[in-house]
Amino acid sequence: MQHKDRAALPTDRCAELIAQAARTPRQAEGAAHHYYASGLCYLYSDKVARDPVAASAWLTRAAELDHPLARRALLSLRDNTPDDHPPGHCHDLGLGRKLCHGSVSSR
């Protein structure tokens, strides 16, 4: 998946961006952008582990808040991700949050 915002992504700050998104309530101003940036970090950064499932979770949150680029990125990601994710696998989203098979929960 190629995305036009990839070049503008500050990959050296991805860990910070993901942590900020984890602290940002859905109703906060700018939440959709924080979630979107976190999704791109999980797709493109070499500073955090690439993780299409975590990317999908963050992009879904942004898309639910009507972020149009997140919707487009999410559709592209779903079209280009194989369906071979191992069962029982979880992803650390930072700050005590994890994603297990599409649901975000606290530890």
Q: What are the φ and ψ backbone dihedral angles of 98, each rounded to 5 degrees?
A: -140, 160
CB 6 within 8 A of CB 69: no
CA gap 22, 13 in Å, rounded: 14
- Indicate the SS3 state at residue 88: coil
Q: Which residue has the higher pLDDT, 104 or 60?
A: 60
CA gap 58, 83 in Å, rounded: 18
What are the tens digits of pLDDT across the range 46-95? 888 888 889 999 999 999 999 999 998 888 877 665 555 555 666 666 55
Q: What are the φ and ψ backbone dihedral angles of 91, each rounded to 5 degrees?
A: -125, 135
Q: Supply the pTM of this predicted model.
A: 0.70
What is the structure's pLDDT at 44?
A: 87
Q: Which helix (H) or strand (E) holds 44?
A: helix 31-44
Q: Which of 47, 64, 46 is nearest to 102 (CA)?
A: 64
What are the tens digits of pLDDT across the range 4-51? 555 567 778 899 999 999 999 999 999 999 999 999 999 888 888 888
Over residues 89-106, mean pLDDT: 59
